[in-house]
């Protein structure tokens, strides 16, 4: 029988040092989408929490979100141009410093991205349909 501390070899050859995965959990630690020292401290402190850590819900577009339930746009991490890369590189290093595999959850909030309209931008969606509960423009 497998044990939680047994290694896992993925099909493409990567080896996870145990069978524990930390699921993505928002830290709200970003600054206008950029990784901050708070982000690095949080993930750095979890570099031994699992064989694989999935870093949180990260936007792939400027008009991507955050989702309707969100209070503001500043703290969600983003990665939609090269300016985000240095912070993300540090985040990956913090997660991997003790041998973890690091994964990043990439998301686009689509029609739920109401904060875009609050900021004078337009929420981007795959198809413009009528959603009765959405009271802001969709593109």
**Least CB distance to ligand FMN at residue 126 (A):** 19
Q: How far apart are CA 81 and CA 15, in angstroms?
A: 30
Q: Looking at beta carbons only, is 20 or 26 nearer to ligand FMN?
A: 26
Q: Looking at beta carbons only, is 57 or 125 nearer to ligand FMN?
A: 57
Nearest to 44 by CA among 2, 4, 3, 102: 102
Q: Looking at beta carbons only, is 58 or 114 nearer to ligand FMN?
A: 58
- Residue 71: φ, ψ to 5°: -75, -45
**Least CB distance to ligand FMN at residue 120 (A):** 26
Which positions lie near ligand FMN, rule CB under 6 A? 23-26, 56-57, 105
> 96 and 47 in contact (C-beta within 8 Å)?
yes
CA atoms within 13 A on the CB side of 13: 0
Cβ count near 116 (within 10 Å): 23
Q: Looking at beta carbons only, is 57 or 114 nearer to ligand FMN?
A: 57
**Least CB distance to ligand FMN at residue 105 (A):** 5
**Least CB distance to ligand FMN at residue 26 (A):** 4
């Amino acid at each position: 029988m497998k044990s939680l501390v047994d290694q896992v070899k993925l099909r493409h050859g990567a080896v996870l040092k145990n069978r524990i995965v930390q699921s993505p959990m928002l830290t709200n630690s970003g600054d206008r989408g950029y990784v901050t020292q708070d982000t690095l401290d949080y993930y750095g402190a979890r570099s031994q929490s699992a064989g694989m850590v999935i870093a949180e819900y990260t936007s792939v577009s400027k008009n991507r979100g955050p989702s309707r339930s969100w209070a503001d746009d500043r703290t969600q991490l983003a990665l939609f141009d090269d300016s985000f890369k240095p912070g993300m590189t540090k985040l990956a290093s913090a997660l991997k410093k003790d041998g973890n595999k690091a994964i990043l959850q990439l998301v686009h909030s689509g029609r739920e991205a109401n904060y875009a309209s609050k900021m004078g931008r337009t929420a981007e969606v795959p198809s413009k349909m009528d959603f009765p509960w959405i009271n802001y423009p969709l593109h």
